[in-house]
Amino acid sequence: MTESPLSILTLHGPNLNLLGQREPGIYGQLTLAKINELLQQEAEALGVTLTPYQSNHEGSLVDAIQSALGQYSGILINPGAYTHTSVALRDALLAVQLPTVEVHLSNIYRREEFRHHSYIAPVAIGQISGFGAESYRLGLHALVQHLKTAASPN
Instruction: Tell me the CATH number at 85.
Output: 3.40.50.9100
CB 65 within 8 A of CB 102: no
Tell me the pLDDT tens digit for each residue of 140-149: 999 999 999 9
Catalytic residues: 27, 104
Q: Is 106 annotated as a binding residue?
A: yes
Q: Is the dihedral of CA 104, 67, 150, 117 positive or negative?
A: positive
Q: Is 84 annotated as a binding residue?
A: yes
| Residue 19 pLDDT exceeds 90 | no
Number of structural domains in the chain: 1
In this structure, is residue 153 part of a structural domain?
Answer: no
Domain that holds residue 107: 7-28+49-140
Q: Is 78 annotated as a binding residue?
A: yes
pTM: 0.92
